Amino acid sequence: MLGADEWWSNFAAEPDDNDWRDVMAAHALDLYRQTAAVMHAGPESAAHPEPVDSAIEILRELADACALHSYPWSPGERIDLRIPDRAAIEQRARAHGVDEWVRGLGHQLDLRTSGVVAKTWPPATGQKTQDALAAYFAEAAALYDVVMEARATPRGWDVLRAEVFRRGACRHVAVARSWLLWAKRRNDPETVNVAYATLLMAQMFFVASRDAEFGETLFPSETFLRVLLGARRGTPWLVKHGIELPPWLNRRRRER
């Protein structure tokens, strides 16, 4: 992905064209699905991330960018989205040592850009607090339940493919990414854990809005989120901030 010049040229084109936006949506779905197959939620991956974990995160960031490109935002909205470009993605690959890791496995990765990159994700607009993040997690968790219920009904696809849901799913990706950026700047593992889990749910909303056949199990599963949030005490963090946990997040609940 990172070395495909033709792909990057297509990505950077940004034409006002529905066919191009559909291509971006397809790229996002492909990257979300492929990375989901190799993600781990256990405490070992949270405490000691490996280069492969950074590579997965970078690919999912690229998927987020493709997802945001798939919707016809207004010019003002696009400025606020701050969609990352090739320079930003390549800078992250260098910063996390992914380029060296790839070469160490015998693959060629010639990064083409260098230098300082401007802000590439939504700035921390408004008053962000831990309580506000907890409330946003609760909102995303409630929507998670709605999506799962919709997929279990005969007319569920009519709900999920509706324009209002597709737009909302794209917006959730942007907002959740902004929260994760804010949390990482605080450098608090519990806060980052909750923000990351929230972003994973937002990414799932996007996939659900495009998965016409309902032919796959959506990622992340309830079990994955429960283990992930337990890896760095995200669950007690939510309780401490006054959030009533959904039943699927309650550790005492038996596995389905």
pLDDT in tens, 107-156: 988 888 765 555 555 544 557 899 999 999 999 999 999 999 988 888 88
The string over 184-206, giving b where at least 16 C-beta atoms fall within 10 Å of a residue's C-beta and e elsewhere, is eeeeebbbbbbbbbbbbbbbbbb
Q: Count the Cβ atoms, other than its own, within 10 Å of residue 210.
A: 18
What's the confidence (pLDDT) of residue 253? 42
Token pair listed for 82: 């701050």
What's the confidence (pLDDT) of residue 5? 87
Q: What's the pTM?
A: 0.90
Token pair listed for 5: 């010049």
Q: What is the mean pLDDT of residues 47-58?
A: 82
pLDDT in tens, 79-108: 777 788 888 888 888 888 898 999 999 998
Provide the residue ranges of all domains of the chain, joining segments of one domain with +: 5-104, 130-249
What's the confidence (pLDDT) of residue 252? 52
What's the confidence (pLDDT) of residue 126? 58
What's the confidence (pLDDT) of residue 129? 93
Instruction: Place 255 in a pLDDT band, splitting at 50, 70 and 90.
Output: very low
Mean per-residue pLDDT over the chain, rounded: 86
Q: Are 11 and 28 in contact (CB under 8 A)?
A: no
First to last CA, the chain: 37
pLDDT in tens, 61-72: 999 999 999 999
